[in-house]
Amino acid sequence: MMDFPREKEEVKNRKFVEALARGLDILRAFSYGGGVLGNQEIAAITGLPKPTVSRMTYTLMELGYLSYSPRLEKYQLDAGVLALGYAYTSNLKVRQVVKPLMDDLAHRTKVSVGLVARERLSMIYVENCRGDNSQSLRMEVGSRLPMETSSAGRAYLAALNADERQVFLNLLESKSGDKWPGIAAGIEDAVTCYEENGYCLSLGDWDKMVNAVAVPFRLQDGKTMCLSVGGPSYLVTAEMVTDLFAPQLIHVVRDIVNMGV
């Protein structure tokens, strides 16, 4: 079963609509399940009863958020979800302000520069700029990264205070199982690196073929986002990440903060 932690501790009160939460969990399941899912697969991912899933998927299909393939007997996301995502990204002020700086950095470094936000226990690309396509990561808007092993996820955790970070560490520990000791050590090293150097690394940790660095920054509304730079490890060495890309990334983030976004 896929763990879907809420933004806040669920308190059963009149304001929380359980049916709506379940419907959104079903939509999120498609980002984990490969894009085409049957009711039984959705039930396994979300932990919801199959009869509940069947009612929800039918409703979401009628509303234009899912489409159904009679041949496959499975569902996939439909245009209604795309419309919501476009509305979010098109109205995201920081994306509009930061993109020129990202484009400039991408062309100078000739690798991928990503603007990343948190979504539950994952990190989501809300913008990505590529300089030299032969050396750039193919991460599109909406691509998902694991919080615990990506440079952006580690940067997000490093930017939190100790109490806030511990909440996420507890959730990540429950999710990670036997892998947790190694993952926890990587996060601890990343927090130390951020405190000492101002950035977080992922050198083959998320993907053994990818080296990346990220720096977090806080928006005026209090939301934390991250800017990351990375590329294939056969072209982008650990030394390039720390000695070349990290200082430039810190400088760009400082410019973003000074803009008062």
Does the pLDDT of residue 74 top 70, yes or no? yes
90-94, 234-238, 245-249: range with highest mean pLDDT: 245-249
For residue 9, what pLDDT is reported?
43
Which is more confidently placed, 193 or 222? Answer: 193
Within 10 angstroms of residue 229's Cβ, the number of other Cβ atoms is 29
Compute the mean pLDDT over every residue in the chain, rounded to the nearest whole number: 88
Using CA atoms, how far residue 186 sits from 14, 52, 147, 181, 232, in Å, is 41, 39, 12, 9, 20
For residue 158, what pLDDT is reported?
98
Does the pLDDT of residue 5 top 70, yes or no? no
Which is more confidently placed, 107 or 180? Answer: 180
Query: Residue range 121-141: average pLDDT?
Result: 78
3 — pLDDT class (breaks 50, 70, 90): very low
For residue 17, what pLDDT is reported?
86
Two tokens at 112? 């991928």
Two tokens at 194? 């951020």
7 — pLDDT class (breaks 50, 70, 90): very low
**What span, in angstroms and rounded, lies between the C-alpha atoms of 146 and 141?**
15
For residue 91, what pLDDT is reported?
66
Does the pLDDT of residue 2 top 60, yes or no? no
Q: What percent of the chain has pLDDT over 90?
A: 63
